[in-house]
Amino acid sequence: MSKYLVLFAIGYAATIGLCALLARIVPIGSFGSVVALIGGAFVAMGWFLSDRQRRPTRQEMTVLVAGSLVASLLVSAVMVSLFLWVFSEPEQTAFMLDALRATSLMIWALGLLVVCAVSLLLLYLSYAGYAKMWARRRTAAA
């Protein structure tokens, strides 16, 4: 399973990078993170289905979805940290830290929970949808 989670992380990071480049040309706003979750899920599920030639079990699906959420949070944290380290000036970082301190921790926690819940739903639907498309295509070819 770790192979597919690594593939998800690579697909997620590549899609985020691609969306960041496209955002300079086309104003896509916050849809980049949604597209990145779907893109990473398609990369991981594509490899899973080609390796195993079957739909994932319920336990495998749970591991894929939960692991993908953790992988997306880790990749996002690393990318944001690198971006801040490379492109920000100390005054900007201090301003952001002051803004974080000024807002309530409960608001941040609730916001993160909502984002995680929506991400879990999106990941599950992406994985399940791709597996269902694969199964239909496979039965149509047979």
Q: Does the pLDDT value for residue 45 go beyond 70?
A: yes
Amino acid 28: pLDDT = 66
Amino acid 71: pLDDT = 92
60's tokens: 């495998």
> What is the torsion angle, in degrees rounded to the nearest 10, for the CA atoms of residue 29, residue 25, residue 122 and residue 49?
-170
Amino acid 29: pLDDT = 63
CA dist 134 and 142 (Å) reads 12
Q: What is the pLDDT of residues 66-107, one digit of tens each?
A: 999 999 999 888 887 887 777 777 776 777 777 777 777 778
Could you tell me how many helices (H) and strands (E) the chain has, helices first?
Answer: 5, 0
Q: Does the pLDDT value for residue 122 go beyond 70?
A: yes
Amino acid 78: pLDDT = 86
74 close to 9: Cβ distance less than 8 angstroms: yes
Kindly report the pTM of this predicted structure. Answer: 0.79
Q: Does the pLDDT value for residue 33 go beyond 90?
A: no
